[in-house]
Amino acid sequence: MPGHRGRVLLWDMVEKNADKFQELHFKLKSHVHSTRSLQWRENSLDRLAAEIQRSEVAIMEALKKDLGKPELEAFSTEIGVVLGAIAHARRELRSWAAPKKVSTPMKLLPGQSEILYSPKGAVLVISPWNYPFQLALSPVVAAISAGNACALKLSEAAPETAIVIEKIVQAVWPKGEVTCVLGDAAVASRLLDRPWGHVFFTGGTEIGRQVMMTCAKYLTPVTLELGGKSPCIVDSDVDIEVASRRIMWGKTVNAGQTCISPDFLLVHRSIEAEFIDALRSRALEFFGDRPLESSSYGRIVSDRHFQRLEALLVNAEIVHGGERDALRKKMAPTLIKVSSVDDPAMAEEIFGPILPILTWETREDLDVILDRHPDPLAFYVFSNNSTFSRDLMIDRNFGGGCVNDTLLHFGNEELPFGGVGKSGIGAYHGRFGFETFSHQKALLTRRFVLDVKFRYPPYGDTWKKLKGFLR
């Protein structure tokens, strides 16, 4: 995309445009007073929804070029998610933004206590390549709902989608209250080296650490949406056909390049063979016996990521799939049997269509394996035993998850989406996103009556008689 010229800063011009990063930040800060009004926020949401709908075909074509996404996936996991977030925010915004009255203790009466929601100012959103439309604009919806001006750093790994997003942003915010920047790590580093009101980053854990360290320089608050090895546990008492279908779907959406994709499977030993057969059948049902030619299946984003995934198949025990085409960056849904948590496939997040399968028999077996990868972004349990699944959901630490399904918790705007520990800091979606990009101001309003004297010097002994009241 080096030929694209707009308000997008190009990654090959970082040094030449050094001053522009400062100018961009200054310009966004100058817009903050105009972005505070509810009318601006509502108008922005309405215009954004309308422009996305007008650009639907162009968005789908861009996602096809960048990631080979089928139209249904492009709409349901990208366009539709953003439109849903806008509709939800538009419906609830005035309720979210209204001052929230809270109780006032007797010792502070007469008085009224409330929480006011203020924008954090000029904020920065750094988006990834795997869902380049949704994971760019969903945080922006939250940021503008809260009344902020926003810089949106787009991924250079999905350049076609970046071009479409920049055109949408330019049409919706011609004055530059929201501005796009395209670039690599050098551009992100320059952008981060500014005192933003908030930084929202979606990406890998190691880069997340670097983002947080850079933000510490300015004490900038951060939201880190990271990842990790999200487990999927299958109990002996399940509907094998439905469970295998939902797991195979969750693993193969976006060719497995999903931060909440089931990263590895823990199947009860008593149903291992039957469940693997069911997974094979689901793969054939979804993509046929030539999955690389399926119009319902995407591709790996880059040669580098393809080579990383291919290395995991060296010496692996492949029980289904394994077909791949390096030239087209296509890799079939692949099941591999793993006998040890020390297997290379169990070292890092896979982020692709390879599903390692381990077995378990006792809860102690599960805990040993799960303890090797604490605090995942997602956690899935399939079981007809509600006590078993509920106990696991309560006992284990994770960002979010499902019982008897995969991925779908992400689609509820009433649920927070975010990680814990290594899988992230903070959350968004719905009101949680609004609050992420808002400063909650505490306000106590009092009257000029009942001005008790014992609070003022010189202090006497009266306070001793009122210790209980002062607590």
Alpha carbon distance, N-terminus to C-terminus of the chain: 64
Q: In what order do the strands lie in the sheet with 424-425?
A: 178-183, 149-155, 122-126, 198-202, 222-225, 424-425
Identity at 383, one-letter amino acid code:
S
Identity at 89, one-letter amino acid code:
A
Closest-CA residue to 167 (of 154, 157, 185, 156): 154
Q: Residues 141, 89: contact at Cβ < 8 Å?
A: yes
Is 259 part of the annotated catalytic residue set?
Answer: yes
- Name the maximum alpha-carbon separation found in the chain: 88
What burial class does residue 72 get, using C-beta atoms within 10 Å of its C-beta: 0-12 exposed, 13-18 middle, 19+ buried? exposed
Can you tell me the distance from the alpha carbon of 251 to that of 176, in angstroms, rounded to the nearest whole number?
A: 39
From 150, 180, 259, 402, the catalytic residue? 259
Is 225 part of the annotated catalytic residue set?
Answer: yes
Sign of CA dihedral 396, 402, 407, 409: negative
Residue with tokens 């008790």: 452
Q: Residues 286, 292: contact at Cβ < 8 Å?
A: no
Dihedral angle at the C-alpha atoms of 362, 363, 366, 367, nearest 10 degrees?
Answer: -140
Residue with tokens 């991924």: 155
Distances (CA, A) of 254 to 77, 162, 267: 9, 18, 24
- φ and ψ at residue 170, rounded to 5 degrees: -65, -35
From 73, 156, 166, 225, the catalytic residue? 225
Take residue 121 and report the two structure tokens written for it.
Answer: 């100012």
Contacts of 447 (CB under 8 A, 6+ apart): 110, 111
Can you tell me the distance from the alpha carbon of 378 to that of 419, in angstroms, rounded to the nearest whole number?
A: 8
Q: Residues 294, 287: contact at Cβ < 8 Å?
A: yes
Closest-CA residue to 400 (of 373, 442, 428): 428
The catalytic residue positions are 225, 259
